[in-house]
Structure 1
Amino acid sequence: MSDTPTFDDQTRTELEAATFRALMHHLLDARPDVQNIDLMTLAGFCRNCLSRWYQDAAAEKGITLTKDAAREQVYGMPYADWVAANQTEAGPEKQAAFRDAFAQNVAGKS
C-alpha cells in the first residue's frame, strides 16, 4: 500500500497550480540566468516549451492565446524584452547539443 495521499480533483489542481507558480518564480526571479538552451539540453524542455504547453492548455479550455501572449505569461514580460535582458550567445557546441535535444524532445511532438 502506498503512503501517497489521494486528493480530490480540486485539491490536486490547486497543488499542481501552486507547483507551476513555484517553478515559474524560480525560472523568472531566482534563476533568469539559466539559459533556455541549457534547460533544453539538460531537461528536454525550456521556457518556450512551457509557454507552448500554457497555450495548449488554454486552447483545451476554448481560450485563444497567441504565441506571444503565452510567452509573456511564462516570461513575465514580452519575450523580446526577456531575451534582451537575459539571453547570452551560445557557442557552436551548445547549439549542436540544443539541436539534438530539440529533435529528441520537441520536433514532431505537436
Structure 2
Amino acid sequence: MNEQQQDKIEAATFRRLLKHLDDNKDVQNIDLMILADFCRNCLAKWYMAEAGKEGVEVDYDQAREHVYGIPYNDWKDKYQSKATPEQMAAFEARQKQKSESK
C-alpha cells in the first residue's frame, strides 16, 4: 500500500465513522466518553487540529458542524439528552481511573 492509498483508506474510514455516529444518534457523547474516552466533540477538535497542521483554518464550530452533519446547537437541541445520574457517576469513575493510572 502506498501513502496515497493509505490516505484514501483512512479518509474513507473516517467518513464511515462519522456516518456510523450519525446513524446512531441515540448514543450520547457521555456514553462515548465513558466507554472510549472520546466523543464527537473530541473528533471535531482533532479535525480542527489536523486542518491547522495543513495550514487550513477551521474553527471549532465549523469542525463540529462537519462531525455532526448540522450545526452543533441544532444537533444538541434535537438529539442530546441530559446526562443521567448514572452516566455522570460512570463518567466521574472513568476520569478518576484515568488520573490514578498516570
TM-score, normalised by the number of residues in structure 2 = 0.88
2:36 equivalent to 1:32: no
Length, aligned pairs only: 98
Task: List structure 1 segments (4+ residues) > 3 angstroms apart after TM superposition.
Answer: 99-105
Structure 1 residues 101 and 65, CA gap change in structure 2 (3 angstroms): farther
Unaligned 5+ residue runs, structure 2? Answer: none
- The answer for the alignment partner of 2:81 in structure 1 is 88
Q: Which structure would you say has the larger RCO, counting Cα contacts within 8 Å and 6 or more residues apart?
A: 1
**CA contact under 8 A between 1:40 and 1:102: conserved in structure 2?**
no
Shift of 1:90: 1.0
TM-score, normalised by the number of residues in structure 1 = 0.82
Structure 1 residues 102 and 66, CA gap change in structure 2 (3 angstroms): farther
| Structure in which a larger fraction of residues adopt helix | 2
Task: Say what the alpha-carbon RMSD is for the aligned residues.
Answer: 1.6
Shift of 1:32: 0.9
- The answer for the alignment partner of 1:68 in structure 2 is 61
